[in-house]
Amino acid sequence: MSETEEGGAGEGNAGGEVERWERDTLARLAAAGLAEQRRARRWGILFKSLVLLYLFVLLFAVLGGRSLFAPAEKAAGPHTAMIDVRGEISASSDANADRLIEGLRDAFDSPQTRGVILRINSPGGSPVQAGMVYDAIRRLRKQHPDIPVYAVATDICASGAYYIAAAADRIYANRASIVGSIGVRYSGFGFTGAMQKLGIQRRMITAGKHKAMLDPFLPQDPAGAQRMQTMVDHIHQQFIDAVKQGRGKRLDDHDPELFSGLVWTGKQAIGKGLVDDLATPAQVARKVIGASNIVDFTPHKDFWQRVSDRLGASFASALHSEFFSAHLH
């Protein structure tokens, strides 16, 4: 090889080393930049959280611990009181018996209330919670015979939600509302087949003959299943009795599907006697009750509860985002 060729090869090697050094340097700089961005983001989240906490503490001190949305005089003149029954009906949800009954009591106790509307948009839930609200409505109606109660279904009024609606003097719906589902269900799972395939044995010690009656890791006991069926049938009959008591002769008792758990549209439900007419809450307030001013008596979480919930959700979301941004990079 000539000296010229050797010199060219040397220069090529040197050029390659320079290019590799440049690439390595750029990679290190990029990694350092990403690390610095992550550190800045973490400090930013911490700083914002501390500022928010400081503002909330300051606001709390200024207000003396009072809620920004403390109960006030509901209305100056005659009004229609409205209670929202929204979402799942359960002891742990917003649509729980204690909260709904509290709103009903406030609505009936208001001297300017001319009528009460239950605005319902719920698929149902606990028969216990629904039954408690049903009983409270009937009790309050007896105590305040001059204040009628009307249920108005919006998107859905099914199962436990219809249980509550049945206590009203009249039920209204939209033509496309989903109404009915007068039934009770209990569901579970059985894993015995999967356990056999995996070679898993169930080992359990109980005190009480039927304590493990519905254990999903044991074969279903026919006697236990029959006991549960009897219990579900009993709850179903309570539901049926409540609907019959509330709706009376308006029901089509000769329809074998009425209490089968089926649902109908609001327009179809009129023919079944489950709904009286089609109307919105505003129409009922204006045309039926005669008080177009609607006042919401639904008990809501106070300011600090809502702040706590939102702050907790925001903080969890920030941590989630930070965690994944740190790991994805």
Task: List pLDDT tens digits, range 1-36.
Answer: 444 444 555 555 666 676 777 777 777 776 777 777
Which residues does residue 183 pair with via DSSP β-bridges, in sequence order?
A: none
How many angstroms separate the CA atoms of 119 and 290, rounded?
A: 17
Cα–Cα distances in angstroms (integers) from residue 291 to residues 53, 77, 105, 150, in the given order: 44, 9, 19, 13
Run of H or E including 108:
helix 97-109
Question: Tell me, what's the pLDDT at 54?
Answer: 64
Mean pLDDT for each consecutive 10-residue tract of the chain (329 residues)?
A: 50 63 72 72 66 59 40 66 95 93 95 96 95 97 96 97 97 97 82 78 79 76 83 93 94 89 96 96 96 91 50 50 42
Run of H or E including 152:
strand 149-158
Q: Percentage helix, strand, coil, to 5, in the chain?
A: 55, 15, 35
| pTM to 2 decimal places | 0.70
Question: Tell me, what's the pLDDT at 185?
Answer: 82
Closest residue by Cα to residue 168 from 126, 111, 123, 107: 107
How many angstroms separate the CA atoms of 212 and 101, rounded?
A: 36
Question: Tell me, what's the pLDDT at 69?
Answer: 31
Closest residue by Cα to residue 183 from 128, 70, 260: 260
Question: Tell me, what's the pLDDT at 122?
Answer: 96
Residue 34, C-beta contacts closer than 8 angstroms, at least 6 positions apart: 329
Phi, psi of 15 (to 5 degrees): -65, -40
The structure tokens listed for 161 are 């939600």
Which residues does residue 173 pair with via DSSP β-bridges, in sequence order?
A: 278
For the chain, state the CA radius of gyration: 32
Question: Tell me, what's the pLDDT at 193?
Answer: 79
Which residues does residue 264 pair with via DSSP β-bridges, in sequence order?
A: 179
Cα–Cα distances in angstroms (integers) from residue 136 to residues 4, 108, 141, 164, 324, in the given order: 104, 11, 8, 10, 49
**Region for residue 184 given its phi and psi (left: phi exceeds 0; alpha: psi -120 to 50; beta: otherwise):** beta
The structure tokens listed for 225 are 């299943």
Instruction: Map residue 94 onto helix, strand or coil.
Output: coil
